[in-house]
């Protein structure tokens, strides 16, 4: 018996969206972009021209914004009335199932808008009894289904038909998961830690801080970019946006770009034209990062760039989303396929213009 292996020879259909705008523009959607990308795994800041991270930005990185890992939480806990009233409705609440692979397991997420997103398998869906949509990425063979439950609706209270149905469905299927959780209360009257005490009595909870890492580069070749022009110039005075982004990816992955083109391991070299910078710093933070934190970081970088004494021509802030998150931006469905990448990069120039790169993998919608 011969085994024929069907190999999809096509390359994965990744998408990259590049846009150019200014922070001062009223129609600029930079804030929306940051806030709608709910689940961020890593933030990486690359500043050329300085050997150390500027203290104002370092302080922003160091400001504690802990997240919690709660183990074996049944989903019925999430529709608990007290829980909805005290936490989900009061503040920005982010919750994502941990160690669940979106292409293999059921994955769950609670968005700050109050939606509970269940990305469940066919068998679970049939038993759950809640109406959802088949996943956009395998429409022919319906393997996955996405169910959305709006937790903050006024009529979503015990005794109502919809609530009871959701409750029964979750009880019947006994869905359970580990959750990553981050909560920032509205105003400062309540402490963010109070959410921990809510779960501590019945479940195993862990408190985590984001892990930070700094890498310093010396004598790095920087491609020259022109903040007003994304495309190539006729005389070759600057690099295109795509070339720059490829270069940034290479630098972030630690690929040496100064090698000769015939080097054995990597033939990649910095695109032309380029210039040498004496030092550059790359700082990353890994963990469960709420968009609010990304936003404050971005503000810090912008104010640093506005300062006249800053030696850097630009700064790049890259944010990677969770590969196994059921949503990428807002409520757009996200899948894994080959890599599950969903990330965006702000290339911030000194004159408050920016380039926004949004990159997604195959199983994702164009942002």
Partner 1 sequence: MAENKDQDLLYQPLPQYVSGEKEKLGLQELSCPKDKFVESFLDRQIQNFKPSEKKELKKSYLLLDLPYRQKPTVAKKKTTLNSKEKKAKKVYDIPPEHQKYPLYIPLHNLWLQYIKDLLQVTPTSNLTMLQKKMLKADLHGALVTVCKSRCPSYVGLTGIILQERKHVFKIITKDDKLKTVPKANSVFSVEFEGLRAKIYGNHFCLRSARRANKKFKLPMTNQTIDL
> Does position 148 bind partner 1 by CB under 8 A?
no
Tell me the two tokens of residue 136. Answer: 């956009």
Least separation in angstroms between residue 141's CB and partner 1 is 12
Of residues 48 and 169, the one with the C-beta less far from partner 1: 169
Nearer to partner 1, 148 or 243 (CB): 148
Q: Which residue's CB is nearer to partner 1, number 125 or number 349?
A: 125
Strand locations in 304-352, DSSP E?
A: 314-321, 342-349
Contact call for residue 129 and partner 1 (CB under 8 A): yes
Find the binding residues for partner 1 in span 69-88 (CB under 8 A). Answer: none
Binding to partner 1 by residue 319, rule CB under 8 A?
Answer: no
* Residues 256-275 as x/- pattern, contact with partner 1 by CB under 8 A: --------------------
Query: Nearer to partner 1 by C-beta: 171 or 209?
Result: 171
Q: Is 128 in the site for partner 1 (CB under 8 A)?
A: yes
Nearer to partner 1, 129 or 313 (CB): 129
Give dist(CA 354, CA 82) in Å, integer. 43
Task: Please state, in angstroms and rounded to a whole number, the distance separating the CA atoms of residues 304 and 298.
Answer: 10
CB of residue 4 vs partner 1: minimum separation in angstroms?
A: 22
Q: Which is nearer to partner 1, 134 or 313 (CB)?
A: 134
CA distance 212 to 210: 6
Query: Does position 131 bind partner 1 by CB under 8 A?
Result: yes
Nearer to partner 1, 38 or 144 (CB): 144
Cα 328 to Cα 367: distance, rounded to the nearest angstrom: 9
The stretches of the chain forming alpha helices (DSSP H) are 30-36, 55-62, 81-83, 122-128, 161-173, 194-200, 241-252, 291-306
Shorter beta-carbon distance to partner 1: residue 71 or 165: 165
Q: Tell me whether residue 134 or residue 273 sits nearer to partner 1 (CB atom).
A: 134
What values do phi and psi take at 78, rounded to 5? -75, -20
Nearer to partner 1, 169 or 361 (CB): 169
Note every long-range contact of 168-174, with CB atoms under 8 Å and residues 24 or more positions apart, other chains counting.
168/129, 169/127, 169/128, 169/129, 169/130, 170/74, 170/75, 170/76, 170/79, 170/128, 171/76, 172/127, 172/128, 172/129, 173/124, 173/127, 173/128, 174/74
DSSP string, 68-122: EEEEEEEGGGGG-HHHIIIIISSSEEEEEEES--TTTS-EEEE-TTSEEEEEEEH
Listing from the earlier edge strand, what are the strands of the sheet with 15-22?
15-22, 353-360, 342-349, 314-321, 40-48, 274-289, 211-223
Neighbours of 210 (CB within 10 A): 19
Our finding on whether 46 is near partner 1 (CB under 8 A) is no
Among 127, 178, 232, 243, contact with partner 1 (rule: CB under 8 A)? 127
Q: Do residues 314 and 348 lie in contact, with contact meaning Cβ atoms separated by under 8 Å? A: yes
Query: Binder to partner 1 among 29, 32, 104, 172 (CB under 8 A)?
Result: 172
Tokens found for residue 216: 């310093």
Binding segment for partner 1 (CB under 8 A), chosen from 40-48, 68-76, 121-129, 339-347, is: 121-129
If one asks whether residue 215 binds partner 1 (CB under 8 A), the answer comes out as no
Candidates 152, 163, 83; CA nearest to 113 is: 152
Residue 160 touching partner 1 (CB under 8 A):
no
Binds partner 1 (CB under 8 A): choice among 130, 180, 205, 297: 130
In the complex, the smallest distance separating the C-beta of residue 246 from partner 1, rounded to whole angstroms, is 45
Residue 276 interacts with partner 1 (CB under 8 A): yes or no: no
* Total residues in contact with partner 1, by rule CB under 8 A: 12
The answer to the question of residue 119 lying near partner 1 (CB under 8 A) is no
Residue 16 makes contact with partner 1 by CB under 8 A? no
Among 126, 186, 219, 272, binds partner 1 (CB under 8 A): 126
Positions that interact with partner 1 (CB under 8 A): 125-132, 165, 168-169, 172
């Amino acid at each position: 018996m011969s085994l024929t292996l069907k190999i999809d020879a096509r390359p994965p259909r990744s998408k990259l969206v590049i846009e150019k705008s200014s922070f001062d523009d009223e129609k600029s959607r930079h804030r929306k972009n940051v806030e709608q990308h709910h689940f961020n795994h890593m933030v990486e800041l690359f500043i050329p021209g300085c050997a150390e991270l500027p203290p104002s930005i370092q302080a922003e990185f160091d400001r504690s914004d802990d997240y919690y890992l709660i183990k074996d939480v049944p989903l019925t806990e999430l529709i608990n009335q007290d829980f909805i009233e005290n936490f989900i409705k009061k503040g920005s609440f982010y919750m994502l199932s941990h160690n669940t692979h979106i292409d293999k397991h059921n994955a769950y997420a609670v968005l700050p808008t109050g939606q509970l997103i269940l990305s469940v398998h066919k068998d679970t869906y049939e038993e759950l009894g809640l109406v959802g949509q088949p996943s956009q990425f395998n429409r022919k063979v319906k393997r996955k289904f996405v169910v959305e439950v709006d937790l903050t609706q006024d009529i979503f209270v015990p005794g109502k038909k919809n609530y009871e149905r959701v409750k029964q469905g979750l009880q019947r299927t006994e869905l359970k998961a580990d959750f990553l959780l981050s909560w920032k209360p509205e105003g400062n009257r309540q402490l963010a830690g109070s959410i921990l005490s809510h779960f501590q009595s019945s479940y195993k909870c862990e408190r985590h801080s984001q892990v930070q890492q700094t890498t310093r580069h010396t004598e790095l070749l920087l491609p020259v970019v022109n903040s007003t022009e994304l495309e190539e110039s006729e005389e070759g005075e600057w690099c295109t946006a795509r070339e720059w982004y490829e270069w940034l990816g290479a630098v972030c992955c630690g690929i040496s770009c100064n090698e000769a083109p015939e080097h054995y391991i990597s033939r990649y070299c910095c695109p032309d034209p380029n210039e040498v910078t004496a030092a550059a710093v790359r700082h990353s933070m890994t963990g469960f990062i709420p968009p609010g934190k990304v936003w404050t970081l971005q503000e810090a970088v912008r104010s640093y760039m506005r300062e006249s004494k800053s030696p850097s021509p630009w700064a790049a802030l890259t944010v990677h989303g969770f590969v196994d998150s059921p949503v990428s931006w807002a409520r757009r469905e996200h899948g894994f396929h080959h890599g599950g990448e969903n990330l965006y990069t702000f290339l911030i120039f000194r004159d408050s213009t920016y380039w926004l790169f949004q990159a997604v993998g195959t199983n994702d919608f164009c942002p």
